[in-house]
């Protein structure tokens, strides 16, 4: 039997961003009155962002345009909703302290989900550039806890379409695929649309209040070699595997200037060390595929089929 989802009002920060748009669409599809707090449009606003805003307004989403420094505007927006989800990009992670201050002032928020769409930062210790990146996210977690705000922290692991584009480059003709380390470490790749749906579900779930929820479905645990082999099988092609040794990634993390040293440190953590699978999920821990067995998730196998017919466009993560 499908679990009944409480119809709460949801405000999403960063709702026009890479993962934010999937969370917004999931919120609407699950029947929640949905608002977005977004930067005002201007000459710097790209056509894709403008089109996305038009799409959202056409389905009844209220877009509140404002800056994160506009405390009173944020407080007023918060007083109209029940749940706050932040999908702000890395350069704005510490700006979430302003959201926390506004949540305290509003005094009515039932759940806050900060922008934590990646690894479980409290359980890994990566190379220094990535560690510094994660320390900012930990600061938001600790500030949320200290403020006594009801929260759900999500460890969504890798956003699958993004990393398939990074690893396989399916949009460009090539005969070689780069393998980081020995290619054997397991990672977890979850389709962005599923991440959006799971995030709305856990934000409304009493079981997830003041808990960390991991997104680790077994069908989406895969190594680089397995991913490449599956892609070769689907495309009927054979690729030469070019290996980048671990020591090369470590050296790049030490010599590249910030923020260019962050992506190589992430590749090292996820695909060389296997940090996403470096800890056990116990029976007492929360994991989305066991929490919501009725939800049909998109497996890596199915996502590669999507890449064959209607490949998601490559995206660039913002680190600086």
**Catalytically active residues, by annotation:** 137
Q: d(Cα 317, Cα 215) in Å, to the nearest integer?
A: 20
Question: What one-character DSSP code corresponds to residue 95?
Answer: G
Residue 247, Cβ neighbours under 10 Å: how many? 9
Tell me the Ramachandran region of residue 136: left when phi exceeds 0, alpha when psi lies from -120 to 50, beta otherwise: alpha
Distance CA 239, CA 234 (A): 12
* β pairing state of 286-287 and 158-159: unpaired
Tokens in use for 178?
A: 């780069």
Q: Are 105 and 131 in contact (CB under 8 A)?
A: no
Say if residues 177 and 168 touch (Cβ distance below 8 Å).
Answer: yes
Quick check: helix, strand or coil at residue 16? coil
157's tokens:
């692991």
Contacts for 262 with CB less than 8 Å, ≥ 6 apart = 129, 130, 133, 319
Cβ neighbors of 96 (< 8 A, separation 6 or more) are 13, 86, 88, 114, 115, 140
Q: Measure the CA–CA gap between 162 and 157, rounded to whole angstroms.
A: 12
Task: Determine the Cα–Cα distance for residues 216 and 296; give it in Å rounded to an integer.
Answer: 14
């Amino acid at each position: 039997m499908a679990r009944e989802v409480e119809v709460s009002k949801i405000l999403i920060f960063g709702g026009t961003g890479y993962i934010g748009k999937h969370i917004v669409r999931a919120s609407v599809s699950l029947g929640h009155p949905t608002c977005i707090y977004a930067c005002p449009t201007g000459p710097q606003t790209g056509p894709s962002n403008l089109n996305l805003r038009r799409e959202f307004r056409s389905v009844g989403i209220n877009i509140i345009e404002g800056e994160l420094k506009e405390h009173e505007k944020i407080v007023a927006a918060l007083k109209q909703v029940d749940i706050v989800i932040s999908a702000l990009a890395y350069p704005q992670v510490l700006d979430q302290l302003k959201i926390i201050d506004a949540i305290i002032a509003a005094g009515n928020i039932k759940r806050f989900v900060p922008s934590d769409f990646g690894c479980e930062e409290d359980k890994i210790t990566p190379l220094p550039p990535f560690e510094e990146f994660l320390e900012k996210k930990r600061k938001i977690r600790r500030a949320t806890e200290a403020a006594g705000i009801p929260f759900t922290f999500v460890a969504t692991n890798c956003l699958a379409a993004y990393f398939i584009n990074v690893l396989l480059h399916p949009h460009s003709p090539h005969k070689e695929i780069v393998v980081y380390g020995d290619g054997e470490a397991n990672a977890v790749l979850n389709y962005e649309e599923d991440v959006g749906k799971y995030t709305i579900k856990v934000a409304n779930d009493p079981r997830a209040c003041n808990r960390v929820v991991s997104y680790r479905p077994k069908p989406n645990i895969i190594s680089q070699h397995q991913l490449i082999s599956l892609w070769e099988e689907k495309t009927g092609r054979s690729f030469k595997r070019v290996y980048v040794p671990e020591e090369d990634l470590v050296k790049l993390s030490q010599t590249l200037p910030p923020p260019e040293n962050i992506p190589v440190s992430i590749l090292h953590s996820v695909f060389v060390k296997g940090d996403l699978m470096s800890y056990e999920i116990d029976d007492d821990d929360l994991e989305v595929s066991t929490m919501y067995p009725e939800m049909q998730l998109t497996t890596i196998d199915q996502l590669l089929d999507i890449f064959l017919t209607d490949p998601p466009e490559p995206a660039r993560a913002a680190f600086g």
